[in-house]
């Protein structure tokens, strides 16, 4: 059985890391028909749209995408590509697993970190409702709805239940934003009551930030709003070696797009030194999402290959203090996938 996937190489370091991820899948023997969709800053400027129709048409055919990062052109009022994609396809759950690999030299290398952050993806301050009241006075509106809060909480609890996770922690700032975050929290509590077998906790976002740094091993599943989720998931990526190690998925009821948590990294684009592991782990999430025995086997192979490759301290790209290029690192994982699948 073959699966049809839209491959959006993106720009900056996107094409390099997306290529490595595609090769890793191919090495597992899982059959994917890749439909390439161009999406980059140049195309956005040319079409005048953050999300050109050609990309939406492809995703309408395939329902699933593997995406490299895309830089949003600065100025010209373009919406972020990811925000546009999430709203247009109703990709309401941003899922970011944060899993430490033994041997990665981070300040937390002796700590076993294994958490998954569920970030609501469609509203909050990202709704883009800003208003200049009078010159030099601007308001930005935080939108929180019951519908979106319930569904992200349900998604997080469902995931926790399916994977045998023990605890869900809701992160909020309801002590200050009493109405908006108060509603988010009420929705999380309501879903928690329906799932009594899973421990439920709440943490105020500033406290959560400190706890994530001093005892990251105590976190399991986190559920939060859009803005807090964005910030906390980058913080969490820093605990496991940085942006090059942090995969992510944007999932809705009809569509799913898998991409690394990082951006297009213009500072290192074209140098061939980007770490492809975040994108390779994102494509493993995609294979799990297909939920087919063959693709689940492929996802497991990729994860094991990454763990085995990273257990050798000389297998490191520059962000982790090593000498390997993007292609060399990709080759190591591809070779390991090939050996494991024999």
- Which of 126, 155, 200, 255 is the catalytic position? 126
User: For residue 70, what are its two tokens?
Assistant: 């895309």
**Closest residue to ligand ATP, Cβ-based?**
263
Q: Which of 166, 206, 254, 271 is catalytic?
A: 206
42-81: which residues touch ligand ATP (CB under 6 A)? 69, 71
CA distances in angstroms from 192 to 144, 160, 168, 170, 261, listed in the order given? 19, 11, 8, 10, 28
In the complex with ligand ATP, the residue whose CB is nearer, 241 or 290, is 241
Shortest gap between Cβ of 270 and ligand ATP (angstroms)? 12
Tell me, residue by residue from 187 to 226, as one string, x for binding to ligand ATP by CB under 6 A and - for no binding. Answer: ----------------------------------------
Rounded CA Rg of the chain: 20
Catalytic residue among 11, 181, 230, 319: 230
165 or 262, CB closer to ligand ATP? Answer: 262
**Residue from 82, 121, 226, 264 in contact with ligand ATP (CB under 6 A):** 264
Angstrom CA distances, 207 to 214, 229, 249, 299, stand at: 11, 14, 26, 35
Q: Annotate 135-155 with b (16+ C-beta within 10 A) or e (fewer).
A: eeeeeeebebbeebbbbbbbb
CA distance 29 to 295: 9
Tell me, rounded to whole angstroms, the distance of Cα 90 from its chain centroid. 15
Nearer residue to ligand ATP within complex by CB, 204 or 318: 318
**What is the nearest approach in angstroms of ligand ATP to the Cβ of residue 263?**
2
Q: Which is nearer to ligand ATP, 6 or 279 (CB)?
A: 279
**Phi, then psi, of 122 in degrees rounded to 5:** -115, -10
Say which of 11, 155, 173, 250 is annotated catalytic: 173
Binding window for ligand ATP (CB under 6 A); candidates: 174-182, 200-208, 265-273, 298-306: 265-273
Structure tokens at 304: 């094991």
CB of 334 to ligand ATP, least distance (A): 17
Query: Contact with ligand ATP (CB under 6 A): which of 20, 83, 95, 278?
Result: 278
Q: How many residues interact with ligand ATP (rule CB under 6 A)?
A: 17
Distance CA 58, CA 95 (A): 23
118 class by beta-carbon count within 10 Å (0-12 exposed, 13-18 middle, 19+ buried): buried
For the chain, what percentages of helix, strand and coil (3-state, to nearest 5) are there? 45, 20, 35
Least Cα distance to 43 among 16, 20, 9 occurs for: 9
Query: Are the C-beta atoms of 239 and 216 separated by less than 8 Å?
Result: yes
Asked if 182 is part of the footprint of ligand ATP (rule: CB under 6 A), the reply reads no
Note whether 239 and 263 are within 8 A (CB).
no
* 230 among known catalytic residues: yes
φ, ψ of residue 123 in degrees (nearest 5):
-140, -135
Of these residues, 26, 90, 114, 234, which one is catalytic?
A: 234
Active site residue 253: no
Site for ligand ATP in 236-255 (CB under 6 A): 243-244
For residues 250 and 319, which CB has a smaller minimum distance to ligand ATP in the complex? 319
Q: Which is nearer to ligand ATP, 270 or 313 (CB)?
A: 270
Q: Is 14 in the site for ligand ATP (CB under 6 A)?
A: no
319 is catalytic: no
What are the residues whose beta carbons fall under 8 Å from the beta carbon of 147, sequence distance 6 or more?
none
| 262 binds ligand ATP per the rule CB under 6 A | yes
User: Which positions are catalytic?
Assistant: 126, 173, 206, 230, 234
Q: Enumerate binding residues for ligand ATP (CB under 6 A).
A: 13, 17, 69, 71, 243-244, 262-268, 274-275, 278, 319
């Amino acid at each position: 059985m073959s699966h049809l996937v839209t491959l959006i190489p993106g720009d900056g370091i996107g094409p390099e890391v997306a290529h490595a991820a595609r090769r890793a899948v191919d090495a597992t023997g899982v059959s994917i028909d890749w439909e390439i969709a161009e999406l980059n800053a140049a195309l956005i400027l040319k079409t005048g749209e953050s999300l050109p129709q050609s990309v939406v048409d492809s995703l309408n055919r395939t329902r699933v995408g593997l995406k490299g990062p895309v830089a949003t052109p600065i100025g010209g009022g373009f919406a972020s590509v990811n925000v546009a994609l999430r709203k247009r396809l109703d990709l309401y759950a941003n899922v970011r697993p944060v899993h430490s690999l033994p041997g990665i030299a981070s300040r937390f290398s002796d700590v076993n970190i294994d958490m998954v952050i569920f970030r609501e993806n469609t509203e909050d301050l990202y709704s883009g409702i800003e208003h200049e009241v009078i010159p030099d006075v601007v308001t930005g509106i935080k939108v929180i709805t019951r519908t979106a809060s319930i569904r992200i909480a349900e998604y997080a609890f469902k995931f926790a239940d399916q994977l045998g996770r023990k605890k869900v922690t809701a992160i909020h700032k309801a002590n200050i934003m009493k109405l908006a975050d108060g509603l988010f929290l009420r929705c999380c509590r309501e879903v928690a009551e329906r799932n009594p077998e899973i421990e439920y906790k709440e943490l105020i976002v500033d406290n959560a930030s400190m706890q994530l740094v001093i005892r990251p091993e105590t976190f399991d599943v986190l559920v939060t709003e859009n803005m807090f989720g964005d910030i906390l998931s980058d913080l969490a990526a820093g605990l496991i070696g940085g942006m090059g190690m942090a995969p992510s998925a944007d999932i809705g009821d009809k569509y799913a797009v898998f991409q690394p948590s990082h951006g297009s990294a213009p500072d290192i684009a074209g140098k061939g030194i980007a770490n492809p592991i975040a994108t390779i782990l994102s494509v493993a999430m995609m294979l799990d999402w297909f939920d087919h025995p063959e693709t689940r086997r492929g996802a497991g192979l990729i994860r094991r290959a990454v763990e085995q490759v990273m257990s050798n301290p000389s297998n490191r790209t520059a962000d982790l203090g090593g000498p390997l290029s993007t292609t060399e690192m990709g080759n190591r994982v591809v070779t390991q996938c090939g050996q494991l699948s024999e």
